[in-house]
Amino acid sequence: MGVRTKKKVFTKFKLRGYTLKLDALEETLSFLSRYEDEEDMALELLLDEIDKESLKSSILDKDSVHKVISLLLEAAAAVEQIPSSSKSPLRVIDAFLVPKFCFDSIKKSFYEYTGKLPIHGDASAKAGLYRDRYQLLLQRISRDPNFSKPAFDPSLTYSTGSSCEISPIQSLIGHTGRRWIMGSISQLEDGHFYLEDLTAAVEVDLSNAISLKQQQYVVLFVFFYERCVFVFWESNRRMNCPFLHERNEKYGFFDTQYRIHSGFFVENTIIVAEGELLTSGIFQVSTCGFPPLEDRDASLALLVGFDFFGGGFLSAEDTVRLQGLEKNAVNEMFIILSDIWLDNEETMEKLATVLDGYENVEVVPSLFVLMGNFCSRPCNLAFNSYANLRSQFGKLGEMIAAHPKLKAQSRFLFIPGPDDAGPSTALPRCALPKYLTEELRNHLPDAIFSSNPCRIKFYAQEIVLFRQDLLYRMRRSSLIPPSSEKTNDPFEHLVATITHQSHLCPLPLTVQPIIWNYDHCLRLYPTPHTIVLADRSEQKLFKYLGTTCFNTGSFAHDNTFVAYRPCTQEVELCAL
């Protein structure tokens, strides 16, 4: 190999903190000569594996490098023995396998949590759930130029409207003037809400924010650590930040009247508020909204080397290469259906019609996603028909196997619904029990059973699928009506809520329980390319700030489903 390649190898190793001896360099060059067309990818892979080794020194000799290269060659040989028909650009990621990353507020960086994550967490796990959500959004908003402290002109203050730096709630004491604070919403007692960050708590007055529509006075409190979390609303007074109007379209942050931001404000959501601490100790809110959304590429640029999604870390070269392959995969199509009631003859007849239709097309869909509920009645303690449900899954497998093209060329993914059988109703939900699906597996040995929610990695594209009647619960739990200035569509408010919160289900734990140690499985950070919300509500499509979001609708109720083409992120809303 040439001098240029040697220099590149030395540079790459040096950036990782390693120094190569001459014999180690020759061993590395010999390995790279096997992959001339993918030299950069092979080098990155080698470095990643060396990082995992327990090395006594950063100076690498031949033996250290040869050991890692031998393992890589053995793995490559094993992959080559796999039949080509089983290779696929699509990878399904179970929620319980998603890695957990925590933010170090001292080092201002993320690190991967490598400890055990028991299903039954202790009290500290519940406190950590709220802390991690808050720190995730705080580090995101701290990079926003509109919420950063002026570096070269300290004379620019809140009173001039040129700075919106987030102030810790603790710093409000003894200071006057307008301030921006960020906190989470919770309710300590009936009719009283609270706003809290990681430093202190403050009582918040929202009377002006709601009096126009509801003619009532609401006071929010906020308290520290063990006492709940936070919330607050805005008044109809305009804020004195002149640049905010210009960034409305970019961030979807405040509406044109500087009233309440689009989205559902429920307990546990984290919001940003502008106001003033009164002499009475109450923080008078004048404007509030969700933390502004960060562009996906901007998030990824700061997370180099970390795999938040769970589909494997990709270097920049790998990402570009896979994106090219993704765009060329024009024949790939996913069919997504929700509410497949196996005990309902009409639903099964409609499903047979769908399968018949795709069996007869020239290029069959590469993936069918079948989501619950798989029974028209909740599978709770009063449900005594598990044996019948097991046989109905078997009939479903028999129905699919009767379509030879689909069985041979398509993959089938099954995701449980909120009322399906399982150990609990807490999120994330594990895959369907093997007892129920055993007969189906006999007909479809390659069927995939995953958690709810689950994730799909298609080449470089990240897709999140979530089966929950989320819109209904959000509307019931909303503390105040969402703003109608920008949209009256509840689904668009829902999409704005979960993307700005970077969380699939920011509902109170009393409304939707979440396994404390696995709350990170519901994160939407960095924002994925596509979010599938399988909800009983009306079928919808909404593309929001670069993210494609759609609701499949209920197949059992209104005969609707979705055809999705990942190469173009094109969504076709279908119905029988």
- Scanning 97-194, the segments in alpha helix (DSSP H) are 123-141
d(C-alpha 393, C-alpha 402), whole Å: 14
Quick one: 51 and 106 in the same domain?
no
Sign of the Cα pseudo-torsion (498, 501, 504, 506, in order): negative
Cα 438 from Cα 264, distance rounded (Å): 41
Which tokens hold the place of 262?
């689009």
Over residues 410-421, the pLDDT tens digits come to 999 999 999 999
Name residues of the chain where pLDDT drops below 70.
1, 75-87, 149-163, 188-191, 206-261
Phi and psi based region of residue 564 (left: phi greater than 0; alpha: psi -120 to 50; beta: remaining): beta
For residue 122 the two structure tokens come to 């202790």
CATH of the domain at 45: 1.10.8.60
Q: Amino acid letter at 100?
A: K
Q: Which residue has the tokens 């529509």?
A: 213
381 domain residue, yes or no: yes
Q: Are residues 294 and 385 in the same domain?
A: no
Enumerate the β-bridge partners of residue 287.
274
Q: How many domains does the chain have?
A: 3
| Shared-domain flag, residues 122 and 112 | yes
> Which contacts (CB < 8 Å, 24+ apart) does range 239-248 have?
239/161, 239/274, 239/286, 239/287, 240/159, 240/161, 240/178, 241/161, 241/162, 241/164, 241/274, 242/161, 243/146, 243/161, 243/162, 244/146, 244/164, 247/146, 247/292
CA dist 493 and 265 (Å) reads: 10
- Pairing state of beta strands 109-112 and 201-205? unpaired
CB 528 within 8 A of CB 547: yes
Longest C-alpha distance within the chain, in Å? 80
Alpha helices in 81-155 (DSSP H): 123-141
Distance between CA atoms of residues 61 and 25, nearest Å: 8
Angle among Cα 118, 121, 123 to the nearest 5 degrees reads: 160
Look at residues 275, 290, 306 and tell me which one is the last residue of a structural domain.
306
**Could you give the C-alpha distances from 104 to 153, 409, 541, in angstroms and in order?**
29, 46, 37
Are 64 and 8 within one domain? yes
Q: Which of 249, 274, 306 is the last residue of a domain?
A: 306
Calpha distance 553→439 (Å, rounded)? 28
Q: Pick from 239, 273, 306: which residue ends a domain?
A: 306
Distance CA 65, CA 37 (A): 21
Same domain, 30 and 105: no
The one-letter code for the residue type at 80 is E
Listed in order, strand segments (DSSP E) in 116-205 are 178-189, 192-196, 201-205
247 occurs within a structural domain: no
Q: Are residues 569 and 541 in the same domain?
A: yes
Q: Which pair of structure tokens corresponds to residue 1?
A: 């190999």
On whether both 175 and 296 belong to a single domain, the answer is yes
Q: Are residues 285 and 356 in the same domain?
A: no
Check which CATH number belongs to the domain holding 141 and give it.
Answer: 2.40.50.430
Same domain, 277 and 352: no
**Residue 178 phi, psi (nearest 5):** -75, 145
Q: Structure pTM? A: 0.78
Q: Are residues 108 and 141 in the same domain?
A: yes
Q: Report the half-sphere exposure of 208 (CA within 13 A, side-chain side).
A: 15
Is 58 a member of any domain?
yes
Closest CA to 391 of 380, 402, 399: 399
Q: What pLDDT was estimated at residue 354?
A: 97
Note the pLDDT tens digit of each residue in 133-155.
999 999 999 988 888 766 555 55
Closest CA to 309 of 207, 474, 459, 473: 459
Q: Is residue 128 situated within a structural domain?
A: yes
The answer to whether residues 474 and 497 touch, using CB atoms and an 8 Å cutoff, is yes
Q: Is 138 helix (H, G, I), strand (E, B) or coil?
A: helix
Structure tokens at 434: 């093997």
Same domain, 434 and 568: yes
Does 223 fall in a domain?
A: no
Tokens of 265: 């404000």
Tokens 């039954």 correspond to what residue? 120
- In angstroms, the CA 564 to CA 338 distance is 14
Please tell me whether residues 15 and 65 are part of one structural domain. Answer: yes
Kind and range of the H or E run holding 282: strand 282-289
Domain hosting residue 363, numbered range: 307-468+512-575
Give 66's contacts (C-beta < 8 A, 6+ positions apart): 27
